[in-house]
Amino acid sequence: MDRGTPMTIRTSGIAALAVAAAIACQVAASASPQQAPQQAPPADPASCKGMLGQSARIPAVLGGVPRYGSTYVLVVPQRNAGRAPSPDAPGVKTLKIGVQAGTPAVDVARAIGVTNIKEYPLDVATAAQPLQDVKDGSLDAAILWAPLAGLAIIELGLDGQVSVFTVDKPRPGPSSLRGGAAGAAAGAAEPCAAAIADELEISGVLPAELLATVEIRDLLARRPGPFDPGVARQGGEVFNQVCAKCHGQDAVADPKGLAPVDLRMSVTRFSFAGFTYIVLNGRPEKSMPPLRGTVTDEQIEQVYQYLKARGRK
């Protein structure tokens, strides 16, 4: 599951029990165990065929790529692997690297010390041109928004011919390439979006969030909104899709599961900041992986409200 103070509800006696029971029943009813989690589309590279020529579809598809929305990558062809075996190798600074003007890729290139930068105009119709030039040999390497790089690698047949490295901190994707929220939601159901994410994972690309340190002090000012049953219901859906495989369907601990902890009880001890910190960073000592880049801030709050509603003392 990007980044308060403890949320305290002050009620007492029978009234408190009545409120808690009503909330728990309402939430539990909306997330029944019989409801199957939404299945991700199959990751089929063939579904991306011709996508670079479909300018109208590109923003929605790229905006729907799981986990890599804030990631920029350095793409290096095998002919330059000796000069750039890693993104922090001294040879990277000697490469002629293409970036798209007006995008965070320019800042990323400068942040890693690149001085020989070739800027390309940002145009959806020619978005893959930097990697085309890498393929043709007129450019040493390119720094691109990860979803675009993944699509271009598939479409240009560069799979296995390039090394791909996450570079710098999380940064937003170019607005003209990532589409709006509605488009991104539609794109998330595209097999091509799943194929792009799969290509990046196979290439060993880490979401930028996993390389960024999240400190608890950066989370202390965060506060959840007022309790909303609708938000909690959404949190139940997110929980069952993302968290249930370890923590049990509907937050009911499975004694034989990977994490047989009754979150309905333990969540009552967590402030929103503490809960967010654990979700983002994981708990390595308990084999819980970090969920940075996997869930959004909004989804973290939804799950927090869901667990609070399901909580019991």
Q: What is the pTM of this model?
A: 0.62
- Distance between CA atoms of residues 267 and 274, nearest Å: 10
Kindly state the tokens that stand for 68.
């890599």
User: Do 13-37+213-310 and 45-211 come out as alike in CATH topology?
Assistant: no
Task: Using DSSP, state whether 36 is helix, strand or coil.
Answer: coil
143 HSE (CA, 13 A, CB side) = 33
Superfamily (CATH H level) for 45-211: Periplasmic binding protein-like II (3.40.190.10)
Query: For each of the chain's 313 residues, which pLDDT tens digit applies?
Result: 433 333 322 333 333 333 333 333 344 334 444 444 445 567 789 999 999 999 999 999 999 998 899 999 999 999 999 999 999 899 999 999 999 999 999 999 999 999 999 999 999 999 999 999 999 999 999 999 999 999 999 999 999 999 999 998 889 999 999 876 665 665 667 899 999 999 999 999 988 887 776 788 888 888 889 999 999 999 999 999 989 888 989 988 888 878 888 888 888 888 899 999 889 888 877 888 888 767 888 999 999 999 989 875 4
Please report, for the chain, the start and end positions of each structural domain, with discontinuous segments joined by +.
13-37+213-310, 45-211
Kindly state the tokens that stand for 241.
């899709």
Task: Spell out the CATH class of 13-37+213-310.
Answer: mainly alpha
Report CA dihedral (109, 114, 120, 123) to the nearest 10 degrees: -10
